[in-house]
Amino acid sequence: MPKKRHQNRYSKPQSTAPSLLSSSAARRDDGQGDAAQNRGVNELLAGLRRTGLSGSNGGQQALNTIQPSVPPAIRQILQIPETPPPPPRRPVRVGRGGARLPAGPAPPRSWLSGPERAGHALRQSATKYGAAKGHGHRSLPGVSLPGRGSLIDMVLRRFVLDWEWQRTYCQYHLYELPTHLRVSLLIYLAMYTSEGVSLRDLQAVLLPPPDMPDYWEDPDLVPSAINDDFHCLDLTGWIGRSIKLRELSNLLFPPNLEPIDPQDSWDTPDQLSRDIPRSIVPNLTHLSLALDPTSSPAISWRQLLSFATHLPGLTHLSLAFWPEPSLTPNAKLATVVSPHTGGTLQYGGTGPYSHSLDGNWEEQVLVLRRLSKSLYGLEYLDLTGCGEWYPALWSSAGEGDTVDWTGAWGKINTLEMYPGYTLKDDAEAAERARYWEMVDCTQQLERHIRASRAGKGRFITIETVKRSGLGGTSPS
């Protein structure tokens, strides 16, 4: 049989003799060999120490490291050199304002220079919504995002680059992330991905995977309990595109598929409460349904009115770039023939000349009044880019009804009404007149709200652009 070859796992001992032995042999040749043989172990160790002391600085540093401290008198008797002083301590790092920084080395410059290393795709895929507003992507008030260039910011940016893979690989952990990270993750998906936020993405972040049936039985794991502190949902630019408003309503407020007989469940209130589905985001207060101004998404005010009935606790809402309120937007040019008179009648509530010639905003006022009755808790409303129907906010309907700024919407104290684009320096006179007409509408609305509240309601602030000293524009 062939011999087994074993590889040596340990190195061989040193083949050369140490310098101490060679010096001892030399002294033996000089007639001192007998004296060296009679020396004890302690004397040999002392000789080794002296040899190390007379060596290089490296040997002295090693001796200083292992040598214990001794009294000065004994040090003189044994002729031991003085112990070198300890090395100086590292200076304390102080930040701005004199605050002491954490211990350890300073962070690399690459961590502080910004998220440019996160990939060229992130720089090229910024949302068009922020560019159209001219003020960047502004989140709703009260929503905090990671600092630009921070470690969390870079991690989230890199995470959304591989979102298709991460959504499958991390499906059992996404819904267990801290709430502020899940909120930021959805915002980053809306800002830095070309696919946007879809219904499947919301399910991955807000719901456990479907193959985990135990979470429905555990009261601490039901979606309404997991998302109890989930207050913000930012879907800027993707409503009507990657996710429909009806799909969002069915996801957040699932319908009861099996009807419940109250008489059968009268004696079992626990069973009744378990059968009635709750909202998976029961405490939603901040919602952004802003549209992308560069596209024409299929959006419906009728679906918004139905969706708003589930959100009485909403305090912040963004409807930026929404079209004018109408229940029949496709019937603006449609007409019907009257069976009695034979004449043609307008089919929808708004015709092609209702605003320009007749100054009729009746349908828009009625839609806004219905919306205000459902969202009576609003404190902030963003209507950026909706300048075409700003007059409907103070116009009256057929019987003198206007948008209720003292009752249903009496809590609103901030309105954002930017034109939605930046006026160019070489713009034509007609474009300039139209631009400043929208700005003047905001001033008229502000006077109307303050007059209707008569100092009894909350103070209203309308944020828009203002004229600069050189005739240009500047943010308010």
pLDDT tens digit at each of 476 positions of the chain:
555 554 544 445 555 555 545 555 544 445 555 555 567 888 888 887 777 655 545 444 544 455 567 888 888 888 888 877 777 777 777 777 777 877 777 777 766 654 444 444 444 444 434 433 344 456 788 888 888 888 999 999 999 999 999 999 998 889 889 999 999 999 999 888 888 899 999 999 998 887 776 665 666 667 788 888 999 999 998 898 889 999 999 999 987 544 444 444 444 444 444 444 568 899 999 999 999 888 878 888 999 999 999 999 999 999 999 998 988 866 565 555 556 555 555 545 565 555 555 566 788 888 999 999 999 999 999 999 998 899 889 888 766 688 999 989 999 999 999 988 888 888 888 888 889 888 899 999 999 999 999 877 788 999 998 876 434 454 44
The structure tokens 């033996």 sit at 28
For residue 221 the two structure tokens come to 């794991």
Per-residue pLDDT reduced to its tens digit, 314-364: 999 999 999 989 888 665 655 555 565 555 555 455 655 555 555 667 888
Give the CA radius of gyration of the chain. Answer: 38
Q: How far is CA 49 from CA 67, 81, 86, in A?
A: 10, 11, 21
Give me the pLDDT at residue 224, please: 81
Is residue 464 a contact partner of residue 440, using CB atoms and an 8 Å limit?
Answer: no
Is residue 371 a contact partner of residue 308, using CB atoms and an 8 Å limit?
Answer: yes
Give me the pLDDT at residue 42, please: 82
Dist. CA 466–CA 265, nearest whole Å: 61
Alpha-carbon torsion, ordered 122, 125, 126, 132, to 10 deg: 160
Give me the pLDDT at residue 382, please: 94
Dist. CA 446–CA 423, nearest whole Å: 23
H-type alpha helices, 109-264:
109-112, 120-124, 128-133, 151-161, 163-169, 179-192, 199-206, 214-217, 223-226, 245-252
Dist. CA 363–CA 328, nearest whole Å: 10
Closest CA to 233 of 256, 205, 210, 265: 205
Give me the pLDDT at residue 113, please: 57
Give the distance, in angstroms, between the CA of residue 158 and the centroid of all CA atoms in the same chain.
13
Closest CA to 36 of 49, 21, 51: 21
What pTM was computed for the model?
Answer: 0.67
Dist. CA 360–CA 366, nearest whole Å: 12
Give me the pLDDT at residue 18, please: 52
Closest CA to 36 of 52, 45, 49, 25: 25
Alpha carbons within 13 angstroms on the beta-carbon side of residue 461 total: 6
Is residue 319 a contact partner of residue 325, using CB atoms and an 8 Å limit?
Answer: no
Give me the pLDDT at residue 118, please: 41
Give me the pLDDT at residue 431, please: 87
The kind and range of the H/E element at 444 are: helix 429-453
The kind and range of the H/E element at 287 are: strand 286-288
